[in-house]
């Protein structure tokens, strides 16, 4: 997959500013309250976002140096770090997230143009370093919604939402048992035929949110009937 890391980095900077502004207004009780993700409070979401920034910093650093690096030491270490950070108060969560996001932004800025094509080790497998800003942008925007603080898929940048919807549709279509549905993005005109089934229509942001299992607002189904339930994203 080819991406423009500079365009994605610009979107990421704005998305990170919005996320940090939301966290800045929270208090300790709000941080400890349930998030939109089952089994996770907002502290889990924030700890995950901080550690994911560090994980992608490892890959950006690998692109710069040419030395191999992994995102996380192990799946168990990743989960342990999230659990360990989940109970912190607002001030510590905010400081950690701001610092980790800043480190990643600095490393993204430092990647030489010729090193963006370098292969790095994502959790899903090897891929070009050009995907680092996009991988972070996806996490920031999706998990900002998961914080359940009033930020919804309708607040996503339209270009981001369109690209995310297209990417998710392709991901689901490649599954051994893809959802039997056709997607129609009412704002872009794009049509994604994942399988033989009803047509679900709505904005690209709402379609993407629905595929992700997040609150997505109103969607239309043709022929009329209940909205299908997509399989779990990850």
CATH number at residue 12: 1.20.120.450
How far apart (Å, rounded) are the C-alpha atoms in residues 80 and 109?
30
pLDDT for res 176: 87
Contact 11, 137 (CB under 8 A): yes
Query: Looking at the 3D structure of the chain, how many domains does it have?
Result: 2
**Residue 60: both structure tokens together:** 């950006």
Residue labelled with tokens 């009780």: 29
Return the CATH number at 198.
3.30.1050.20
Q: Say whether both 75 and 168 belong to one domain.
A: no
In Å, how far are 41, 160, 167, 183, 193 from 180, measured between CA atoms?
33, 25, 17, 10, 9
Q: Say whether both 142 and 200 belong to one domain.
A: no
Instruction: Return the number of other C-beta atoms located less than 10 Å from residue 126's C-beta.
Output: 8
Residue ending a domain, among 151, 176, 193, is 151
Q: Is residue 174 part of a domain?
A: yes
Q: Is residue 47 part of a domain?
A: yes
pTM of this structure: 0.96
Q: Say whether both 93 and 188 belong to one domain.
A: no
Q: Say whether both 122 and 23 belong to one domain.
A: yes
Q: Say whether both 77 and 141 belong to one domain.
A: yes
Which residue range forms the structural domain that includes residue 205? 158-222
pLDDT at 1 over 70: no
Mean pLDDT over each residue of the chain, to the nearest integer: 96
Nearest CA to 102 out of 163, 19, 197 is that of 19
**Residue 169: both structure tokens together:** 């549709």
Q: Say whether both 119 and 191 belong to one domain.
A: no
In this predicted model, what pLDDT tens digit does every residue of 71-84 receive, in sequence order?
999 999 999 999 99
Mean pLDDT of the 30-47 span? 98
Residue ending a domain, among 106, 129, 151, is 151
């Amino acid at each position: 997959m080819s991406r423009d890391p500079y365009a994605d980095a610009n979107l990421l900077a704005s998305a990170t500013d919005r996320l940090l502004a939301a966290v800045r207004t929270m208090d300790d009780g709000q941080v400890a309250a349930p998030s939109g993700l089952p089994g996770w409070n907002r502290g889990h979401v924030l700890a995950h976002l901080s550690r994911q920034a560090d994980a992608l910093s490892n890959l950006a650093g690998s692109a710069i140096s040419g030395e191999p690096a992994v995102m996380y030491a192990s799946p168990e270490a990743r989960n342990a770090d999230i659990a360990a950070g989940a109970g912190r108060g607002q001030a510590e969560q905010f400081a950690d997230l701001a610092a980790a996001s800043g480190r990643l932004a600095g490393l993204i800025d430092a990647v030489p143009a010729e090193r963006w094509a370098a292969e790095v080790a994502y959790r899903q497998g090897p891929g070009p370093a050009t995907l680092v800003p996009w991988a972070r942008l996806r996490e920031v925007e999706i998990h900002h919604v998961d914080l359940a603080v009033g930020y919804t898929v309708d607040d996503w940048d339209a270009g981001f939402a369109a690209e995310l919807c297209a990417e998710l549709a392709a991901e689901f279509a490649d599954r051994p048992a893809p959802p039997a549905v056709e997607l129609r993005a009412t704002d872009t005109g794009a049509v994604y035929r994942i399988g033989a089934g009803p047509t679900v229509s709505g904005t690209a942001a709402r379609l993407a949110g629905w595929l992700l299992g997040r609150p997505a607002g109103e969607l239309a189904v043709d022929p009329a009937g209940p909205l299908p339930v997509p399989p779990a994203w990850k």
